[in-house]
Amino acid sequence: MSARVPAMSVLPPVRRDRIIAQLPQPFRKEAAFHTKDDFNNKVKTACQEQRTGTVGFKISKVIVVGDLAVGKTCLINRFCKDAFDKNYKATIGVDFEMERFEVLGVPFSLQLWDTAGQERFKCIASTYYRGAQIVIIVFDVNDVASLGHTRQWLEDALKENDPTGVQLFLVGTKKDLSSPAQYSQIEQDALKIAKEIHAEYWAVSSMTGENVKEFFFRVASLAFETNVLAELEKSGSRQIGDIVRINSTSNNLYTASKKKQPGCCQ
Ligand SMILES: Nc1nc2c(ncn2[C@@H]2O[C@H](COP(=O)(O)OP(=O)(O)OP(=O)(O)O)[C@@H](O)[C@H]2O)c(=O)[nH]1
């Protein structure tokens, strides 16, 4: 008599504190990717009906860039390890962490690339920029020069990526070190830049943990939503393509069904 062997799962279950059931809200509505209260209806239905295609196996690449010592490593470590180190150790080249989520019941992973801000390590780091779906540009809210340099960081990151397929975030760190008055001053400038470069703006403290989890949940949710929408569009146009191939020999109709999928950058 053969015993039934339970199906083996290769990966352990997603951590309970990485389960996203509702769309996290932006930090500032005036500089947000979008301001909807909930996930897109098409995305919710697709998740309920398990029609998310390859998204459940997808790993979206996130690159974190910005001046030296603005707090990129601390930001990633606070989220991934719930740790904070007050001593500065420069990142040499790059480092990365994997974070697994479950969004609307579907597994989804982010690969977080921590890059070096120091000029002498920048050329090594920039070779890892390619294939990013999300670019997080970090500055220190107590250092106005680091905010000024964010445009250059963006330009460098976009040299290696399709600008139309990248989601951008502008993140001010070390919020715990600034007074409310100082902070609100720099926030005005940061919001202006965020709107100009079409980035969503956040301010965090890796020391206290303020807004760190909320921020990464928002990143994961928006990346997930974009991927599911791209997948739905792809499967929609595949079906149209099939019909066209059966019913018509017209060349231009066939070509139209094969056009590039927006938002799909991996
Ligand atoms: N008070 C405070 N200090 C912070 C915060 N984030 C980072 N720091 C400190 O700032 C310094 C630099 O932080 P890192 O995270 O190493 O900076 P980085 O941007 O990764 O630096 P590079 O690897 O050289 O590009 C360290 O001494 C951290 O302890 C924060 O939110 N609050």
Q: Is residue 125 part of a domain?
A: yes
Complex ipTM value: 0.99
113 CB-contact burial (10 Å; exposed 0-12 / middle 13-18 / buried 19+): buried
Q: Is residue 243 part of a domain?
A: no
> Average pLDDT, whole number, for the chain?
87
pLDDT of residue 262: 37
Distance CA 108, CA 55 (A): 7
pLDDT surpassing 60 at residue 59? yes
Q: Is residue 259 part of a domain?
A: no
Q: Is residue 158 part of a domain?
A: yes
Q: Do β-strands 200-203 and 94-103 pair in parallel, antiparallel, or remain unpaired?
A: unpaired
Ligand 1 in contact with 206 (CB < 6 A)?
yes
Q: Is residue 216 part of a domain?
A: yes
Ligand 1 in contact with 178 (CB < 6 A)?
no
Q: Is residue 242 part of a domain?
A: no
Distance 148 CA to ligand 1 centre (A): 18
Q: Is residue 144 part of a domain?
A: yes
Tell me the CATH number at 123.
Answer: 3.40.50.300
Q: Is residue 258 part of a domain?
A: no
Confidence of residue 85 (pLDDT cuts 50, 70, 90): very high
Give ∠ CA 260-109-203 in degrees, rounded to 5: 95
Count of domains forming the chain = 1
Distance 93 CA to ligand 1 centre (A): 16
pLDDT of residue 55: 82
177 CB-contact burial (10 Å; exposed 0-12 / middle 13-18 / buried 19+): middle
pLDDT > 70 in the chain, percent: 85
| DSSP structure class, residue 104 | T
What is the maximal distance between C-alpha atoms in the chain?
Answer: 75
Task: Domain of residue 47: give its range.
Answer: 4-15+25-235
Residue 137: CA count within 13 A, CB half-sphere:
26
pLDDT of residue 245: 45
Distance 212 CA to ligand 1 centre (A): 14
**Best mutation site among 81, 88, 177, 202 for ligand 1 pocket (most ligand atoms within 8 Å of CB):** 88
Which has the closest alpha carbon to 222: 80, 35, 48, 72?
A: 35
Q: Do β-strands 94-103 and 106-115 pair in parallel, antiparallel, or remain unpaired?
A: antiparallel
Confidence of residue 236 (pLDDT cuts 50, 70, 90): confident
